[in-house]
Amino acid sequence: MLQIYNTLKNQKETFIPIEPGKVRMYVCGMTVYDYCHVGHARVLVVFDVIARYLRESGYELTYVRNITDIDDKIINRARENGESFGALTSRFIEAMREDAAALGVLPPDMEPCATTSMAQIITMIEALITKGYAYAGDNGDVYYDVSRFETYGQLSGKRTEELRAGERVGVDSAKDDPLDFVLWKAAKPDEPSWASPWGSGRPGWHIECSAMSTDCLGNHFDIHGGGLDLQFPHHENEIAQSEAATGCQFVNYWIHNGFVQINEEKMSKSLGNFFTLREVMKTYAPEVIRYFILASHYRSPLNYADQNLDGAKLALERFYTALRGVDAAVVSDGGAYQARFRAAMDDDFNTPEALAVLFEMTTALNRAKAEKNGALASALAGNLRYLGEVIGLLQGDADLFLKGDAGADGVSDEQIETLIQQRIDAKQAKQWGDADRIRDELLAQGVIVEDSAAGSRWRRG
């Protein structure tokens, strides 16, 4: 039975879907004003693996990941660039989809945008006002009245009296209470706005997700996910809005992935240790980044450091070296390995433990190859590929992965092939010194030549 750590209850729980055999999951997606960074990559990959595993487990999953395409940061960035907010967001939505695809992240079933969900947002705000949970301020904004929602703080464990005493909550004179948060912002000059019963304006961030999630998945659904930084206030406010508007429980299981640190420090623009995914992908293959993310449990901090990425690359090289040259078409029931892999994933999506099982399979595969047991090697390789797909790894061509990219200054594939042929010719002419010299030349350029009965193969080290 699948166990999920539910941050609403602070404990692992057996997953029981609302509707047998079906799962409805919503994940807070990107605010599209810049390229995705490593923190975004973690959210994309973690919930992609959760979605893949739910489907692999036989559930009919509806996965919704929204796009926030209007907010202050978007408006400010578009203004800085001298372009429309729509041009900016269209560009970064496309970039996000490219980055996600590169990481092997499958598209969600639905990808609603805030700007195309205005009717649903306005309907929910109207419901909140009608039920007495929201009010219009004298500045034209509409606010949520936190004091009316008795269970506020259930997700974050925060108590309203402590929040009121805190310094982080700014006082806005239009609010009845400093804890109240904005649902609808009155239009400011030169800002995009939409018509509403309270005048032109745009939605607050929190109400967007409440409206989009319930519109796509219904008032009560199974799983809501996102980064741990969203647990408060964003997800806390989502619960307050949705449950007040609909009168029923919003979500059964809340899943939050941990943070990304850079060299054991928090990642922030002010510290200058901020990497976009595209920058990282110039050095490391996307699959290496995906492996690096999955080698940590999703609730552990993920420490971004070059040595950890290098380690991820080596680990994938070991997998692909074992897979190279083996027919992986046969998938048997997988026996004990598959059972242990599933047990690891059933334990709150424990991907490092699942990877440990895949390494054990790789050891057995290497042994089968050494013993020239082709049938066993083929069955193990088939299962390795099959289980790899469940977490979105090991689907590439082994030879291509191991050969890697030449890089800006590296020796090209064609140059390597030419040198390899020269070495073969030298060996056939029994010019062993020349053959060794060519091998050493290639090694000096990071190309490893491996000789076997089947001939010479190479890979970039």
Partner 1 sequence: MRRFSAVSLLLDVVDMRIMASQPHYGGYTHTNNNQERLTYAADLQYP
Interacting residue ranges for partner 1, rule: CB under 8 A: 5, 7, 10-12, 34, 37, 39, 73, 156-158, 168, 227-229, 231-232, 256, 258-259, 266-270, 274, 295-297, 299-300, 311, 314-315, 317-318, 321, 344, 350, 352-353, 355-356, 359-360, 362-363, 366-367
Minimum Å gap between C-beta 139 and partner 1 is 26
Minimum Å gap between C-beta 267 and partner 1 is 7
Characterize the bridge pairing of strands 201-203 and 11-14. unpaired
Q: Which residue has the tokens 């929602």?
A: 149
Please say which residue, 350 or 422, places its beta carbon nearer to partner 1. Answer: 350
Please say which residue, 168 or 430, places its beta carbon nearer to partner 1. Answer: 168
Q: Is 222:263 a contact under the CB 8 Å cutoff?
A: no
Please say which residue, 366 or 445, places its beta carbon nearer to partner 1. Answer: 366
Please say which residue, 127 or 295, places its beta carbon nearer to partner 1. Answer: 295
For the residues of 200-260, what is the DSSP string, one character each?
SEEE-HHHHHHHHHHHHH-SSEEEEEEEGGGIIIIIHHHHHHHHHHHSS--EEEEEEE--E
Answer positive or negative: Cα dihedral of 336, 338, 342, 344. positive
Please say which residue, 34 or 111, places its beta carbon nearer to partner 1. Answer: 34
Picking from 411, 187, 389, the residue whose alpha carbon sits closest to that of residue 290 is 389
Please say which residue, 169 or 281, places its beta carbon nearer to partner 1. Answer: 169
Q: Show the tokens assigned to 391.
A: 């977490």
Q: What is the 3-state secondary structure (H, E, C) of 408-423?
A: CCCCCHHHHHHHHHHH
User: Strand, helix or coil at 271?
Assistant: coil
Please say which residue, 10 or 412, places its beta carbon nearer to partner 1. Answer: 10
Minimum Å gap between C-beta 179 and partner 1 is 15
Please say which residue, 161 or 229, places its beta carbon nearer to partner 1. Answer: 229
Minimum Å gap between C-beta 22 and partner 1 is 27
Beta pairing partners, 185: 202
Q: Is 438:411 a contact under the CB 8 Å cutoff?
A: no
State how far the Cα of 185 lies from the Cα of 202, in Å rounded to an integer: 5
Helix (H) or strand (E) holding 11: strand 11-14
Q: Is 62:122 a contact under the CB 8 Å cutoff?
A: no
Picking from 392, 398, 405, the residue whose alpha carbon sits closest to that of residue 282 is 405
Q: In angstroms, what CA-CA distances link 353 with 1, 103, 160?
A: 17, 21, 39
Minimum Å gap between C-beta 82 and partner 1 is 20
Characterize the bridge pairing of strands 455-460 and 447-452. antiparallel
How many Å is the Cα radius of gyration of the chain?
26
Please say which residue, 246 or 445, places its beta carbon nearer to partner 1. Answer: 445
Minimum Å gap between C-beta 4 and partner 1 is 11
Cα 182 to its chain centre, rounded Å, is 28
Minimum Å gap between C-beta 250 and partner 1 is 18
Minimum Å gap between C-beta 301 and partner 1 is 8
Minimum Å gap between C-beta 11 and partner 1 is 8
Please say which residue, 215 or 238, places its beta carbon nearer to partner 1. Answer: 238
Minimum Å gap between C-beta 322 and partner 1 is 8
Please say which residue, 135 or 349, places its beta carbon nearer to partner 1. Answer: 349
State how far the Cα of 395 lies from the Cα of 446, in Å rounded to an integer: 25
State how far the Cα of 146 lies from the Cα of 14, in Å rounded to an integer: 32
Residue type, 51: A
Helix (H) or strand (E) holding 135: strand 134-136
Minimum Å gap between C-beta 354 and partner 1 is 8
Specify the length of the chain in residues.
461
Q: Is 64:217 a contact under the CB 8 Å cutoff?
A: yes
Minimum Å gap between C-beta 105 and partner 1 is 19
Please say which residue, 53 or 184, places its beta carbon nearer to partner 1. Answer: 53
Residue type, 351: T
